[in-house]
Structure 1
């Protein structure tokens, strides 16, 4: 028999768990990230704690990479901006210098035209940054492409090309950085994954596969080296206003999705996403989910209550999830044109 004290204790614990769940659920209606990132965004370290450090960013010529660079530059963080388009990198550099308001000077931002697929040059690119600044503190792998296609109609050549870009090139550059950080005694590697790397979203089979693979690599790295002063971060954005959708793969080699975003779409701005990415880096968060309501609650349900998620998906159908993600129905999959 439980004593009166024991019964009271269980009641208090039960009430506490209920209250925690209630507050958690209410917060998810108002915030644009998971609870951990939201907490650090308000109560954690500002990106200003990275002032003077060097962050190496791939895919920095547009989208999330560009706006993460801008968010960091505002706080005086030195940058290595890499992508294939030098003109766009120079444009981003000018913006970063302007928003830094004197905290950064021309030499504090290094532009390196770089093709992530040229893995044989990764070591040279990274060493160029180290020689320029004397050190690198954080590698942020942001380059990559998405996909829209019917699962059974994806050509294997598309699978191979996407894994080369989204997985193998990222892992190769990360290994270059990890070896450097091992010798230095500390470091931080991060990569842009996706909400699609947490749950398998319909009509993006290869993209989801590549992001799930990235989670496997990075989670293993964290578990293997995390105790040796190596921080490992995965950033998982949802729909964002960038050119990411237009440039997406389809199911055919050499084809682009070619259907862009619309002002009426329910998407996070790239500026806000970049700010949250900067906060996640500053606070060394292992994994962060970034998206507008209702995607974050949906991810929580999919991860922690998979049976409920599966039942909901059976009722609503995969088309509903596609519409939630892209703000349109699956008929657009038939509108893809070859470039």
Structure 2
């Protein structure tokens, strides 16, 4: 038995050090649902689709035959995404540009009505709109917390509540929420953001358990560091302020395209949760999930907040002059 355990442990260590997602996601990618078979003819609505992961998810879905609605506040950026989808082989009439401020809850139902008028149904809602943060916990103005929860939590919940009756009536549908590795553990210098991502897990885990047997599926997507304009627009300690730093090509981050591909795999295979990241974030997530006391002790005794800040941003972003 000890020999078998040691073999399993060796294989597990090899996996978390060499793959870029959790075991179930990688298995599904290799042996699960074919993406073209799954997405062909499906109607997919992606929020936050103008840049980053949302943009890449929209392109990946159209590449596999889906009809896609792309939403964000900037229509000109959405038009660029639409053109990229067409270059991937999509028909222009199968890409709906739907400008939307998801925090404007009064606009959500009319927007969904436009989706139904155009395509007649919605199969998959991918809730990607959100904002990150770089800030010291005790210096953060409470308005920053409120603003981040408005976007990262309440807009997500509100749009889901608009869409769920439609999915309930047709007894099928899938809601995918773009959470974060910060939704599974505490990310230093991102207290408001981390709290918002933990909150959506609570909301949607509850929803999943309520909807057992209804035909409505929930997937929580948890990417680690990914290339995007996240640092430029991240919230800080002060209301209406952006962090304003840029990622570099040397940063240790997953591409948005790879993150999108794995996200689409997780949805197609109806995974309840998917961790999309590589070392050292992936092993840290496994440790946090399955050895919480040990992992917290190691962090407190040997690693510390600057280590995790460097893991996330390939540098300790909080050492910027603006915080000295």
User: Which range, TM-score by smaller chain?
Assistant: over 0.9
Matches within 5 A, 1:287-306: 287-306=273-292
Deviation at 1:97, TM superposition (A): 1.1
Q: Verify: 1:329 aligned to 2:316, yes or no.
A: yes
Q: Which residue of 1 aligns with 2:120?
A: 134
Any idea what SS the aligned residue of 1:130 has? helix
Aligned equivalent of 1:7: none
Instruction: Give secondary structure in 1 for the equivalent of 2:25.
Output: helix
Out of 102, 114, 135, which is 1:149 matched to?
Answer: 135
TM superposition shift of 1:330: 4.8
Cα distance in 1 for residues equivalent to 2:129 and 2:318: 28
- Give the TM-score of the pair, scaled to structure 2: 0.96
Structure 1 residue ranges without an equivalent (≥5): 1-10
Length-normalised TM-score, structure 1? 0.92
| Residue aligning to 2:26 | 38
Trace 1:239-254 onto structure 2 (pairs within 5 A).
239-254=225-240
Matches within 5 A, 1:274-313: 274-313=260-299
Q: Matched residues in 1 for 2:121 and 2:323: separation?
A: 45
State the shift of 1:32 in Å.
0.5
* 2:80 equivalent to 1:94: no
Is 2:16–2:278's contact at 8 Å kept on the other side of the alignment?
no
Equivalent residue, structure 2, for 1:4: none
Q: Secondary structure at the match of 1:235?
A: strand
The answer to whether 1:22 aligns with 2:10 is: yes
Q: What is the alpha-carbon distance in structure 1 between the residues aligned to residue 29 and residue 18 of structure 2? A: 14
1:185 matched to 2:171? yes
Partner of 1:256: 242
State the alpha-carbon separation in 2 of the partners of residues 106 and 40 from structure 1.
30
For residues 206-225 of structure 1, give each alpha carbon's deviation from its aligned partner in whole angstroms, at most 9, with x where no partner exists. 00000000000011111110
Deviation of the 1:15 alpha carbon: 4.4
Write the distance in 1 (CA, Å) between the matches of 2:320 and 2:129: 24
**Match for residue 73 of structure 1?**
62
1:8-47 CA-to-partner distances (Å, cap 9, x unmatched) read xxx3xx5444433321221111100111111111111122
What is the root-mean-square deviation of aligned Cα atoms in Å? 1.4
Decide which of 84, 94, 103 is 1:117's aligned counterpart: 103
**Structure 1, residues 48-83: CA drift from partner, whole Å, max 9, x if none?**
121110000000111000001111111111100111
Contact 1:177 1:189 in 2 (8 A): no
Structure 2: distance between partners of 1:193 and 1:230: 19
Q: Give me the whole-angstrom Cα distance separating, in 1, the residues matched to 2:220 and 2:283.
A: 19
Instruction: Give every structure 1 segment of 4 or more consecutive aligned residues whose post-TM-superposition deviation is greater than 6 Å.
Output: none
Aligned residues: 322
Shift of 1:183: 1.1
- 2:212 is paired with a residue whose SS is helix
Corresponding position: 1:85 with 2:71 = no
Identify unmatched segments of 5+ residues in structure 2. Answer: none
Relative to 1, partners in 2 of residues 1:336 and 1:125: Cα closer, same or farther, differing over 3 Å?
A: farther
**Alpha-carbon separation, structure 1, partners of 2:317 and 2:114:** 45
Q: 1:226 offset after TM fit, Å?
A: 2.8
| CA–CA separation in structure 2 for the residues paired with 1:296 and 1:38 | 13
- Note if contact 1:322-1:328 (Cα within 8 Å) is conserved in structure 2: yes
Which of 213, 219, 223 is 1:227 aligned to?
213
